[in-house]
């Protein structure tokens, strides 16, 4: 189940959803580009030999999240005139899209709306405003300045279809409350909210709806405290608080942009927080979202043609964002892109989804991280996985992370893509009751740092490609799991396999075509006790470069430090594995080790977190290392002590 953030009042309920798995007929070696917004940096294709690059067949959402014509509400119909009044130039405001702050220098000639209780006073009426009981309608483009306090008053923007100008609403110290949507953009070529520098502004809607509206975009009800049927932008350095008692906080049927700014935006919503149905772009600001029964930030375009044209994307290129969501933190029906914007400052994102990670520790009698143990999970599956989608990041097609500081605490998968997932930069920390990083198709790590501090499985995908970067996972089950390339022949994990170089053969049930390929980077894999594997592939394993450290506290079953159902080739790089049981693959040595010494060879050394008597090495016979002087040091994640030394 997952929040749909749909466009009528029924969205507060939680409909059933399912996650798509790749078709066996799809070509895993498809090299088509990810369908990102036009101004996005294109991700280079993988240089891994015979390994699937980031493919991007656009996923079409199975849920119906479109803008429905909600006619079930009691009908108090409003139809504004579509004649175009004379537009007068408006002084005093900077409407330049590239300007960060809106420093308003008022000279008294501006069109100003001053609210008081259930009334509004209009100064310098430009002939574009229409007053009615509890409603003022903006009927043509121009600049409008809002100030004062309304106990029950609504601003509607409804310009003629022939008006191609922009409506700029300057929130200049205004507090709007309305039983309906306080700000409703019913029709406009383009609308923008300006948070005037030095001002504090707020909007709050009622918990029910009693009106329907008829305009150029059809008949509907308002679905959010700030609701727009057309494009909407928000900018400026002032403050805005949105309290949505009915459904969503800020919601557009088309594109929503939060521009480069230093402003503060606080959204509290009964359902979803911020939604741009066609697309959502955030370039700056300090944003806090609390979505009680929905997703935090979302784009849920469900039209196949629109998805093919690049709609349904969430792009974050700046700002400091904190999300607390009942369901998914950031969700897109197409692509989630985290990147660096015009400034050198990278975005900061902190997410708590579905209450956060709590189950694994409670159900196993302790956190059991590094150091420690005692997870107690076997092949029965993850009993902590929730029934609803409560993921940190979720995308139907692709997730691309190029920059940013990301912290995810989720009940469900930390970062989940129904297509490909590519990480080229940034620093991501994840803790979850399910998978840390999950891609239904290809997971590619080309840079950055990924730290999974607690998960059921650390990283999982049909194809796993580690080219660069630093990764660290602490799990109760498999650390890396390549599975699902061919679902019809997949038999699950821990099935033994054909022995690779220096490895023992199992009684495996055959490869499903999945693959782990390591060509570079630094990677730490820790798994707790139970029937667990460090590096596990239902197909092949191919390591030609990079550094891999494995700690496997397995106490039963098959697999161990390295396990594959296909061919295992460890022909390059440096691997050290520490275990308490035999490894199915890799060159294994009977070496007793303790947690107070470094072990390895002259080329690599690592201090394990527990004691055991089995090691895997591809750099010769391991033993205790007396000194790491003269070696280079690489620490994993945010740790300053969990480090590998190498030459």
In 3D space, the residue among 214, 178, 231 whose CA is nearest the CA of residue 82 turns out to be 214
Answer whether 192's CB lies under 8 Å from 169's CB.
yes
- Residue 369 domain-assigned? no
Q: Check residue 531 and give its pLDDT.
A: 67
Residue 471 neighbours by CB under 8 Å, 6+ apart:
445, 449, 450, 451, 452, 459, 521, 522, 523, 524, 636
Interatomic CA distance for residues 34 and 56, integer angstroms: 5
Among the candidates 301, 317, 347, a domain finishes at: 301
| In the predicted structure, residue 39 carries a pLDDT above the cut 70 | no
Name the burial class of residue 596, with classes exposed (0-12), middle (13-18) and buried (19+) by CB atoms within 10 angstroms of its CB: exposed
Lowest mean pLDDT across 234-248, 427-441, 501-515? 501-515
What is residue 24's DSSP assignment? Answer: T
- Residue 201 domain-assigned? yes
Phi-psi region of 492 (alpha: psi -120 to 50; beta: other; left: phi over 0): left
Tokens linked to 297: 């930030």
- Residue 208 domain-assigned? yes
Please state the three-class secondary structure of 196-240 as a single string: CCCCEEEEEECCCCCCEEEECCEEECCCEEEEECCCEEEEECCEE
What digits encode the pLDDT tens for the residues 422-466?
A: 999 999 999 999 999 999 999 999 999 999 999 999 999 999 999
Answer whether 144's CB lies under 8 Å from 113's CB.
yes
Sort strands 614-617 and 568-579 into parallel, antiparallel or unpaired: antiparallel
- Residue 352 domain-assigned? no
Among the candidates 255, 275, 301, a domain finishes at: 301
Q: Check residue 343 and give its pLDDT.
A: 63
Confidence of residue 532 (pLDDT cuts 50, 70, 90): confident
Residue 380 neighbours by CB under 8 Å, 6+ apart:
none
Start-end of H helices in 370-422: none
Start-end of H helices in 74-121: none
Q: Check residue 446 and give its pLDDT.
A: 98
Q: Check residue 260 and give its pLDDT.
A: 82
How far is residue 585 from each of residues 85, 138, 457, measured CA to CA in Å? 78, 71, 20
Confidence of residue 523 (pLDDT cuts 50, 70, 90): very high
What domain range includes position 220?
Answer: 71-77+107-301
Answer whether 458's CB lies under 8 Å from 475's CB.
yes
Q: Taking residues 312-320, what's their average pLDDT?
A: 96
Q: Check residue 149 and give its pLDDT.
A: 98
| In the predicted structure, residue 307 carries a pLDDT above the cut 90 | yes
Instruction: Measure CA of the first residue to CA of the last residue in the chain; give whole Å.
Output: 49
Lowest mean pLDDT across 56-60, 250-254, 403-407, 631-635? 56-60
Q: Check residue 555 and give its pLDDT.
A: 63
Tokens linked to 374: 């005692």
CA dihedral over 137, 139, 140, 141, signed as positive or negative: positive
What digits encode the pLDDT tens for the residues 374-405?
A: 333 333 457 787 889 999 999 999 999 999 99
3-state SS assignment for residue 363: helix
- Residue 509 domain-assigned? yes
Q: Specify the number of domains making up the chain.
A: 2
What is the CA angle 420-423-428, rounded to 5? Answer: 120
Interatomic CA distance for residues 638 and 427, integer angstroms: 9
Q: Taking residues 106-123, what's their average pLDDT?
A: 94
3-state SS assignment for residue 265: strand
Confidence of residue 164 (pLDDT cuts 50, 70, 90): very high
Confidence of residue 556 (pLDDT cuts 50, 70, 90): low
How far is residue 222 from each of residues 15, 71, 82, 207, measured CA to CA in Å? 21, 11, 20, 12
| In the predicted structure, residue 583 carries a pLDDT above the cut 60 | yes
What digits encode the pLDDT tens for the residues 173-209?
A: 999 999 999 999 999 999 999 999 999 999 999 999 9
Among the candidates 301, 326, 345, a domain finishes at: 301
3-state SS assignment for residue 170: strand
- Residue 180 domain-assigned? yes
Q: Check residue 5 and give its pLDDT.
A: 65
In 3D space, the residue among 149, 162, 169, 24 whose CA is nearest the CA of residue 489 turns out to be 24
What digits encode the pLDDT tens for the residues 140-149?
A: 999 999 999 9
- Residue 385 domain-assigned? no
Sort strands 420-423 and 297-299 into parallel, antiparallel or unpaired: unpaired
Radius of gyration of the chain (CA): 27
How far is residue 619 from each of residues 331, 362, 419, 547, measured CA to CA in Å? 43, 39, 36, 11
Q: Check residue 6 and give its pLDDT.
A: 58
- Residue 250 domain-assigned? yes
| In the predicted structure, residue 69 carries a pLDDT above the cut 50 | no
Cα Dmax for the chain: 88
Interatomic CA distance for residues 116 and 137, integer angstroms: 17
Average pLDDT along the chain = 82
Percent of the chain with pLDDT over 70: 75
3-state SS assignment for residue 321: strand
Answer whether 402's CB lies under 8 Å from 338's CB.
yes
CA dihedral over 306, 308, 314, 317, signed as positive or negative: negative
Interatomic CA distance for residues 453 and 369, integer angstroms: 8
């Amino acid at each position: 189940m997952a929040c749909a953030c749909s466009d009528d009042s029924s969205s507060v309920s939680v409909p059933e959803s399912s996650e798509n798995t790749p078709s066996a007929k799809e070509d895993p070696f498809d090299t088509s580009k990810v369908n990102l917004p036009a101004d996005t940096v294109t991700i280079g294709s993988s240089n891994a030999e015979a390994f699937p690059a980031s493919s991007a067949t656009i996923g079409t959402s199975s849920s119906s999240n479109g803008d429905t014509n909600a006619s079930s509400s009691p009908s108090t119909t409003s139809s504004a005139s579509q004649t175009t009044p004379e537009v007068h130039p408006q002084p005093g405001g900077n409407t330049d899209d590239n300007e960060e702050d809106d420093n308003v220098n008022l000279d008294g000639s501006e069109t100003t709306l001053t609210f008081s209780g259930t009334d509004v006073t209009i100064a310098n009426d430009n002939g574009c405003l229409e007053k009615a009981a509890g409603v003022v309608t903006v009927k043509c483009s121009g600049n409008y300045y809002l100030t004062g306090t309304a106990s029950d008053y609504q601003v509607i923007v409804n310009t003629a279809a022939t008006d191609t100008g922009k409506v700029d609403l300057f929130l200049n110290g205004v507090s709007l409350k309305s039983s309906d949507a306080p700000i409703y953009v019913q029709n406009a070529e383009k609308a923008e909210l300006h948070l005037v520098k030095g001002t504090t502004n707020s909007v709050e809607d009622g918990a029910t709806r009693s009106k329907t509206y008829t305009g150029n975009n059809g008949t509907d009800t308002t679905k959010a405290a700030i609701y727009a049927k057309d494009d909407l932008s928000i900018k400026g350095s002032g403050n805005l608080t949105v309290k949505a008692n009915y459904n969503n906080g800020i919601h557009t049927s088309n594109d929503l942009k939060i521009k480069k700014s230093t402003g503060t935006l606080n959204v509290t919503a009964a359902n979803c927080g911020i939604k741009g149905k066609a697309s959502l772009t955030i370039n700056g600001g300090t944003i806090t979202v609390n979505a009680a029964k929905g997703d935090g930030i979302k784009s849920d375009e469900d039209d196949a043609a629109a998805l093919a044209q690049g709609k349904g994307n969430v792009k974050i290129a700046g700002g400091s964002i904190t999300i607390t969501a009942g369901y998914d933190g950031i969700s897109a029906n197409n692509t989630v892109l985290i990147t660096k914007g015009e400034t050198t400052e990278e975005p900061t994102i902190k997410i708590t989804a579905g209450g956060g990670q709590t189950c694994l520790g409670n159900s196993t009698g302790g956190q059991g991280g590094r150091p420690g143990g005692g997870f107690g999970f076997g092949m029965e599956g993850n009993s902590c996985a929730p029934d609803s989608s409560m993921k940190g990041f979720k995308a139907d097609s692709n997730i691309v992370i190029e920059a940013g500081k990301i912290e995810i605490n989720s009940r469900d998968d930390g970062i989940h893509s129904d297509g490909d997932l590519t990480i080229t930069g940034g620093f991501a920390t994840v803790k979850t009751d399910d998978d840390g990083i999950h891609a239904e198709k290809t997971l590619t790590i080309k840079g950055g740092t990924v730290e999974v501090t607690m998960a059921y499985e650390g990283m999982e995908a049909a194809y796993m490609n580690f080219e660069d970067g630093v990764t660290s996972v602490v799990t109760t089950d498999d650390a890396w799991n390549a599975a699902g390339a061919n679902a019809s022949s997949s038999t699950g994990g821990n099935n033994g396999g054909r022995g690779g170089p220096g490895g023992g053969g199992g009684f495996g049930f055959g490869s499903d075509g999945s693959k782990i390929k390591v060509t570079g980077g630094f990677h730490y894999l820790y798994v707790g006790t139970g029937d667990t594997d460090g590096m596990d592939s239902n197909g092949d394993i191919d390591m030609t470069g990079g550094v891999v450290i494995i700690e496997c506290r397995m106490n039963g079953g098959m697999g161990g430090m390295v396990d594959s159902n296909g061919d295992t080739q460890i022909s390059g790089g440096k691997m050290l594995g520490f275990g308490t049981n035999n490894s199915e693959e890799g060159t294994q040595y009977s070496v007793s080790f303790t947690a107070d010494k470094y072990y390895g060879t002259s080329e690599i050394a690592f201090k394990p977190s527990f004691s055991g008597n089995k090691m895997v090495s591809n750099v010769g016979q391991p033993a205790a290392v007396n000194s790491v002087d003269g070696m280079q040091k690489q620490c994993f994640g945010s740790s300053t002590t969990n480090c590998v030394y190498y030459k």
